[in-house]
Amino acid sequence: MTTDAARGNFPVHRNLAAFARWFMSQPPSAWLLPAYATYEFEAQGSKVSSVVLYRAGRYQAELFMGTSAGVFPDHSHPNVDSIEMMLAGQIDFRVRGRSVFPREVFEKNLSTQGMMVGVAAGATHGAIVHDGGGAFISLQKWREGVAITSVGLDWDGPPHHSFRGAA
């Protein structure tokens, strides 16, 4: 990792995986939060809230949390590559229509904490949030020339509602 003064002296990462490793090694005091960092989304009756924890250059880390069970329909984010890291609860992630975790994880109520799921820009994906809700961090690399907001606003899929709040 190097820094680039022309971009505001932010760390420059080789790729999304390098950013993910770097971010997860940082203390919260090193996070760079934008002025407007909170969002709420509702899709087919399921709600999730997010807060942007870090944004610099084309990279962003965004925490998502849902407090109840629900289904998020298949959709894509055309301008964002991401790595989703599970934190809490039982979230069955699907990428291109297939569950990424073995069935026994949910049958036996095993932890997915720390497991990661890569989602390429434009790849369809969705999730089933099981009873009790769940949380994950979305580590993102946004394409050049695109305004960086929330990955939930870079949405191609069934209609959903979004609400933006201030930090």
Q: What does the pLDDT look like over 76-92, one tens digit per residue?
A: 999 999 999 999 999 99
Look at residue 114 and tell me whether its pLDDT is greater than 50: yes
* Rounded-to-10 torsion of CA 102, 131, 97, 106: 10
Distance CA 140, CA 106 (A): 26
Share above pLDDT 70 across residues of the chain, in percent, rounded to a whole number: 93
Phi and psi, residue 106, nearest 5°: -85, -35
Query: Strands (DSSP E) along the chain, which ranges?
Result: 2-4, 10-12, 38-43, 46-56, 59-66, 70-75, 80-95, 98-99, 116-119, 125-142, 161-165
Mean pLDDT of the chain: 89
Look at residue 47 and tell me whether its pLDDT is greater than 70: yes
- Taking 3-state DSSP, the helix, strand and coil percentages for the chain, each rounded to the nearest 5, stand at 15, 50, 35
pLDDT of residue 161: 84
136-155 confidence digits (pLDDT tens): 999 999 999 999 999 999 99
How do the domains of the chain map onto residue ranges?
Answer: 2-165
CATH T-level fold of 2-165? Jelly Rolls (2.60.120)
Residues of 97-133 as b/e, b for ≥16 C-beta within 10 angstroms?
A: eeebbeeebbeeeeebeebbbebebeebbbbbbbeeb
pLDDT of residue 93: 94
CB–CB of 53/63 below 8 Å?
Answer: yes
Mean pLDDT along residues 57-82: 95
Strand partners, 41: 48, 162
